[in-house]
Structure 1
Amino acid sequence: MLLNIAERHKLILKKLENDGFVEVADLSQEFGVSLVTIRKDLKALEEKNLLFRSHGRAIPSNPYTTEHHVNIKEKINKKEKTRIAIAAGLILKPNDSIIIASGTSVIEFAKHLKPVEGLTVLTASLNTALILAENPNIDVIQLGGIVRRSSSSVIGPTSEKMLKEFTFTKLFLGVDGIDIDFGLTTTNSMEASLNKEMIKAAQKIIVLADSSKFGKKGFGKICGLEDVDQIITDKKLDHKIKEKLEELGIDVTLA
């Protein structure tokens, strides 16, 4: 007996919750209906904001992130970002020379950073530089370049060229999206380009990102996950994603 529309929709959403995605061809075969019928089902569910259609499949939500001003983003998942920031500070070592990129997670890191002996910080973030400059025990280097107002940070060829003159022990990187297959992304292509140069200049790459960033994609690709050494996130991270990251050799810290 064929399922009616309501029954199909209920089962589609259940499979989506359990598996994280559904395939049009698989649903067509399982329900005994045409591909066209399944596409209509998925379109109807998408119009109700219950899923997002993409290349013959559907996933729970739109993976593409949009750009917001840093003043808005810093209020999102504030408690999680604070715990991530504190955990990140624990891995600093005496005489570390580190890069702090841009974004609200790394600004929070700067706010809670307790300096170790001989700490040098280079940053693209204007807010981070101002926060750390108040501490006489930290040597702060501000990258120059084009000011990106939405993130209160610098980007462009001047900052990229400056990075080539240094080498660092650690990079603390904030991102807009982390996708298991596509890697790390940000909403701005010039920022992505600067982040690539930061990765080249650092010995260890540490990503600070709350769990809402996983499964998301931004416009500009920074790198694949093979370049990442450690991710510090919060305890809401899906355990399946954590397992996949660890299989890739990434140290995952849940704060």
Structure 2
Amino acid sequence: MLAEERRRQVLQWLEAEGRLEVSEVARRLAVSPMTVRRDLERLEADGLLVRTHGGALPVGAVTPRELPYATKRARQVEAKRKIGRAAAALIRPGETVILDAGSTTLEIARHLPPRITLKVVTNDLLIARELADREGVDVYVTGGQVRRGVYSLQGPETEAYLRATHVDRAFVGADGVDVAYGVSTTNRQKVPVKQAMLAAAERSYVVADHSKLGRRAFARFAGIDQIRTLICDDQAQASAAVQLEALAEAGVEVVLAP
């Protein structure tokens, strides 16, 4: 089979199956894994797929880069508000809470009940500013390097602070939630930060709007088996029903915010 025919076949399989592994493609085509990798490199260069560790995904299934905060904030505004309201309603007076950096977790901060007493740990400067003057809310900022345009903190100092912290609840954002791939983010440097947040909490929640379901972002930070609860908006019932069913089968509690 000529190279062009192989690549055409690879694209047909990818469209039908949604994900390909190098070893499986090599077996089907009766060629070496190195040949398959070269074909995938060429197809990626042509903008026809995105390579992953050990395989490939369709272009639309992967979030390749982190968006500036202003862009994120303008997307799925109502869905994030719904999630923020539902997540904030779970928090009890006197608890200690981690709020991950992001526009969805900012909505949690904005929807906290009035006069609630809390300790809030965050690596998000905008969340810290939102809560700084709230009476009854003690705000703790992790420290670390400020990321321009995103207003979050990351790095060894952030990770060390979180590893030395124990909280009742942690709310962690995600750019992709896929049953097979897991929970992922666009920035690999955020992986140890998010993992430390999950480890610090008695109970952890992933917060992600319906557009993130079925997506696989650049860097995976948790398997689905590590996630107890996902808080999403109710539009997921129409746009991602298959993912919701698979998540439930995998033992994940899904809270759909109306």
Shorter-chain TM band: 0.7 to 0.9
User: Runs of 4+ in structure 1 displaced over 3 angstroms?
Assistant: 19-25, 51-60, 115-118
Shift of 1:226: 1.3
**Is the Cα–Cα contact under 8 Å of residues 97 and 119 in structure 2 kept in the other structure?**
yes
Q: Which range moved further: 55-64 or 225-234?
A: 55-64
What is residue 161 of structure 1 aligned with on the other side?
A: 160
Q: Residue type matched to 1:244 in 2?
A: A
Shift of 1:53: 7.3
**Is the Cα–Cα contact under 8 Å of residues 21 and 59 in structure 1 kept in the other structure?**
yes
**Is the Cα–Cα contact under 8 Å of residues 61 and 214 in structure 2 kept in the other structure?**
no
* TM-score normalised according to structure 2 size: 0.76
Deviations 1:159-198 (A, max 9, x none): 1111222210111011111121221111222211111111
**Is the Cα–Cα contact under 8 Å of residues 61 and 216 in structure 2 kept in the other structure?**
no
1:20-35 equivalence runs, <5 A: none
**Is the Cα–Cα contact under 8 Å of residues 63 and 215 in structure 1 kept in the other structure?**
no
Identity of counterpart residues, as a percentage?
30
**Is the Cα–Cα contact under 8 Å of residues 129 and 140 in structure 1 kept in the other structure?**
yes
SS of the aligned residue for 1:203 comes to strand
The number of residue pairs the alignment matches comes to: 226
What is residue 126 of structure 1 aligned with on the other side?
A: 125
1:85-234 equivalence runs, <5 A: 85-114=84-113, 117-234=116-233
User: Quick one: distance in 2 between partners of 1:116 and 1:168?
Assistant: 20
What is residue 251 of structure 1 aligned with on the other side?
A: 253
The verdict on how the C-alpha distance between 1:147 and 1:239 changes in structure 2, with shifts beyond 3 A counting, is same
Please provide the CA RMSD for this pair.
3.1
User: Quick one: distance in 2 between partners of 1:112 and 1:231?
Assistant: 18
**Is the Cα–Cα contact under 8 Å of residues 174 and 183 in structure 2 kept in the other structure?**
yes
Deviations 1:134-179 (A, max 9, x none): 2112111011011112321100111111122221011101111112
The verdict on how the C-alpha distance between 1:116 and 1:78 changes in structure 2, with shifts beyond 3 A counting, is same
**Is the Cα–Cα contact under 8 Å of residues 62 and 218 in structure 2 kept in the other structure?**
no
Stretches of structure 2 that go unaligned for 5 or more consecutive residues are: 1-11, 29-38
Q: Which structure has the greater CA radius of gyration? A: 1
Q: 1:240 aligns with which of 231, 239, 242?
A: 242
Shift of 1:118: 3.2
